[in-house]
Structure 1
Amino acid sequence: MPRVMGVPQDYAQAAKWYRLAAEQGNAEAQYYLGRMVGKGQGVPQDYAEAAKLYRLAADQGHAHAQHNLGVMYATGQGVPQDYVLAHMWFNLAAASHRNSI
């Protein structure tokens, strides 16, 4: 198992801590937990749950979550395929990113 900053990498432990922060409304934690759930890193892979987590972060203006949610709507992964919603989330992500610079 690789080491990150002197400690062993442990996806399950990371998911546990991200979940605790996500449940308190932390958008960054919701985004990273969504990535982990979407990839099945340390938790069972669940695209629908990943989309829910991305949506929580996206609703708070998290640009990467908005982008990933757009991808999910464009591909129909974890949500019904919907190009209009995909377009909306891509536009919001672009606007959020511009506003954060």
Structure 2
Amino acid sequence: MNRAGRTLLMGCLLLTTPLLGHAGDNSLLIPADGSCVLDTRPEDLEQALAQCRRLAEGGDSQAQYELGEYFYDASRHPQDLPQAVHWYEQASLQGHAEAQLRLGTLFWHGEGVPASAMQAYIVLKMAAVNGSEEAMDSADQVAEQMDREQLERANRVLGEIFRNYLQELQASDTRSPFAPLP
């Protein structure tokens, strides 16, 4: 997709942003906010890690993402890719764009997970919907490596995800998700 197409797509997505704010409990496209600080002094790290785990296990997507980053980054401790992937997946399921970008990149390069261009493309497109322009560019690069059949299958999966999402929106409210907002 060229830059003009991406701009048009992002513009269309921005028009739907008010709709996403009324998604209720469906957080597929809406990241939750939270706090988790793991960039701390070494003597405080154990306590900060325990606090972050509590938040993450309680469903805080930012804490889940921060744990993913912690386990992915090998600068202060040994890298733990299975833990990183686990926490990125948890945050991604809640629509955390940065976690989706990281997870899509892991699938693209086969880092900690089996390499899968199709899975990478789908997760990166979801990250793009959630506001990551970097993910949009990465998804375009992945698409260039996919054959036509793979790309069509991935787009069908994305279409199904969005159809299900719209059906959930419609079921959660008596209005159409495309009706004017109050």
TM-score, L = length of structure 1: 0.80
Q: How does 1:18-57 map to 2 (within 5 A)?
A: 18-40=52-74, 44-57=78-91
Task: Give the match for residue 111 of structure 2.
Answer: 77
Report how many aligned residue pairs link the two structures. Answer: 91
CA RMSD of aligned residues (A): 1.9
Residue 36 of structure 1 aligns with an amino acid whose one-letter code is: Y
**Displacement, 1:60?**
0.2
TM-score normalized with structure 2 length = 0.46
Shift in Å, 1:18: 1.1
Identity of aligned residues (%): 35
Q: Which of structures 1 and 2 has the bigger CA Rg? A: 2
* Distance in 2, Cα, partners of 1:59 & 1:41: 27
Q: What corresponds to 2:4 in structure 1?
A: none
1:56-91 CA distances to partner (integer Å, 9 max, x unpaired)? 000000000000000100111111110101011110
Structure 1 window deviating more from structure 2 (89-98 vs 50-59): it is 89-98
> Is the partner of 1:61 in helix, strand or coil?
coil
Extract unaligned runs of 5+ from structure 1: 1-7
Instruction: Give yes or no for the alignment of 1:61 onto 2:65.
Output: no
The unaligned stretches of length 5 or more in structure 2 are: 1-39, 133-182
Maintained 8 Å contact 1:67/1:93: yes
CA distance in 2, matches of 1:13, 1:72: 29
